[in-house]
Amino acid sequence: MKKIGYLLLSLSAGCILLILLLTLFSVLPEPISLIKQFPVLLRAYGPLGLGVIWFGFVGIVFLAGQVIKDRLGNKEDNYYERNVDR
C-alpha cells in the first residue's frame, strides 16, 4: 500500500510538472511556442488537472490506510497506551 500511495503521489506531481511546462511553453514567443504549433495541447489541461486531483487524493487515501493498518497492528503502541500514565 505504501509503494502504491507514493507512486500515485508521484504521478500527481508529474501531472503538475506537465501543466507547468505547458504553461511555460504557451507564453514563449511564436516561433518556439508549442501551443501555437500544436493547438491540440490546449485540451491537455483538463485531463492533467483531473489527474492531479485524482492521483493525489487516491495516493493520500492509500497512505492513510497504511498508517491506520500499522497503528492497529502495533502491539507496542497498545501496551504503552494501557500501562503508561500521562
DSSP single-letter state for residue 38: -
- The pLDDT value recorded for residue 64 is 92
pTM of the predicted model over 0.75: no
- Cα–Cα dist 42/33, whole Å: 12
pLDDT at 71 over 70: yes
CA 59, 71, 3, 65 torsion-angle sign: negative
Q: Which amino acid is at 12?
A: S
pLDDT band at 84 (very low <50, low <70, confident <90, very high): confident
Predicted confidence (pLDDT) per residue in 5-31, tens digit: 999 999 999 988 988 887 777 776 766
**pLDDT average, residue stretch 28-36:** 67
